[in-house]
A and B are shown apart, each in its own frame.
Chain A
Amino acid sequence: MTEAVIRLEGVHKRFGDLHVLRGIDLVVPAGSVVCVIGPSGSGKSTLLRCINLLEPIDSGRVVFEGKDITTSSRKELEVVRRGIGMVFQQFNLFPHKSVIENVSLAQRTVLKRSAEEARARSESMLERVGLSDKLEEYPERLSGGQQQRVAIARALAMDPHVMLFDEVTSALDPELIKEVLDVMRELANEGMTMIVVTHEIGFARDVANDVVFMDEGVIVEKGPVRRVIDAPREQRTKRFLGLVLEH
Chain B
Amino acid sequence: MDIFFEQYFDFDVMRENFSDVLDAFWTTIQLALISGVLALLLGLILALLRAAPGRRMLPVRGLAIAYIDLFRGVPLLLVVLLISGSFPFLDFLPEWLRAPDMLGKPDIFWYGVLSIALTYGAYYAEVYRAGLEAVPLGQSEAAHSLGMSHTVALRHVIVPQAIRKVIPPMLNDFIALMKDTSLVQVIGVVEVVKAGREVQAETFNSSALTLAAVLFVLVTIPLARIVDRQISRQQMLTQRGVL
The judgment on whether A and B are partners is yes
Q: Please list the residues of chain A having a beta carbon within 8 angstroms of any beta carbon in chain B.
A: 52, 54, 74-75, 78-79, 81-82, 84-86, 88, 90, 92-96, 105-106, 109-111, 138-140, 151, 154-155, 158
**Cβ-defined contact, B147 with A78, below 8 A:** yes
- The answer on a CB contact under 8 Å between A82 and B147 is yes
Chain B interfacial positions (CB closer than 8 Å to A): 54, 136, 138-139, 141-150, 152, 156-157, 160-161, 164, 240-243
Residue of A nearest to B158 (CB): A94
Give Cα distance in the complex from A111 to B143, angstroms: 13
Task: Say whether A106 contacts B139, CB under 8 Å.
Answer: no
* A81 B138 Cβ-Cβ under 8 A: no
Given A95-B161, A140-B242, decide whether A81 and B146 contact each other with a Cβ distance below 8 A: yes
A88 contacts B243, C-beta separation under 8 Å? no
**A52 CA to B145 CA, complexed, in Å:** 7
Is B147 a contact of A88 with CB atoms below 8 Å?
no
Q: Which chain B residue shows the least CB distance to A82?
A: B147
- Asked whether, in the complex, the Cβ of A88 is within 8 Å of the Cβ of B138, the reply is yes
CB of A74 within 8 A of CB of B156, answer: no
Given known pairs A82-B147, A105-B156, A106-B147, the reply for A88 and B141 (CB within 8 Å) is yes
The minimal Cβ–Cβ distance linking A51 to chain B, given in whole angstroms, is 10
11 CB < 8 A contacts A-B: A54-B145, A74-B149, A82-B146, A84-B145, A92-B142, A94-B161, A95-B242, A96-B164, A140-B242, A154-B146, A155-B145
Count, A-B residue pairs, CB within 8 A: 70
Residue contact A155 to B139, C-beta cutoff 8 Å: no
Contacts of A88 in B (CB 8 A): 138, 141-142
Give 6 A-B pairs besides A92-B142, A109-B156 with Cβ atoms closer than 8 angstroms: A74-B149, A92-B139, A106-B143, A106-B146, A139-B242, A140-B240
Closest to B160 in A: A96
> Smallest CB–CB gap between B27 and chain A, Å?
37
Which residue of A74, A96, A138, A155 contacts B146 across the interface (Cβ within 8 Å)? Answer: A155
Give Cα distance in the complex from A110 to B161, angstroms.
20
Residue on B nearest A139 in the bound complex, by CB: B242
Q: Which of B136, B147, B150, B157 has the most CB of A within 10 A?
A: B147
| CB-defined contacts of B144 to chain A, threshold 8 Å | 54, 81
| Shortest distance from the beta carbon of B216 to any chain A beta carbon, whole Å | 35
Q: Which of A78, A84, A92, A105 has a CB less than 8 Å from the CB of B141?
A: A92
A110/B146 contact (C-beta < 8 A), A95-B161, A95-B243, A140-B241 known: yes
Cβ B242 vs Cβ A94 within 8 A:
no
> How far is B241's CA from A140's CA once the two chains are assembled, in angstroms?
7
Contacts of B161 in A (CB 8 A): 94-96
User: Which of A74, A79, A85 contacts B150 (CB under 8 A)?
Assistant: A74
Given contacts A92-B139, A92-B142, A140-B240, is CB(A110)–CB(B147) below 8 Å? yes
Residues of the A chain whose Cβ atoms lie less than 8 Å from the Cβ of B143: 106
A86 x B145 contact (CB < 8 A): yes
Query: Max chain B CB contacts within 10 Å: which of A54, A79, A81, A92?
Result: A92
Bound together, the chains give a CA A8 to CA B161 distance in angstroms of: 36
Contacts of A86 in B (CB 8 A): 142, 145
Contact: B147 with A81, CB < 8 Å?
yes
Given contacts A96-B160, A140-B242, contact A110 B142 (CB under 8 A): no
Chain A residues closer than 8 Å to B138, beta-carbon distance? 88, 90, 92
Residues of A within 8 A of B243 (CB): 95
Given A74-B54, A88-B138, A94-B157, A81-B242 contact (CB < 8 Å): no
Beta-carbon nearest neighbor of B243 in chain A: A95
A151 to chain B, nearest CB (A): 8
Chain A residue contacts of B241, Cβ below 8 A: 140
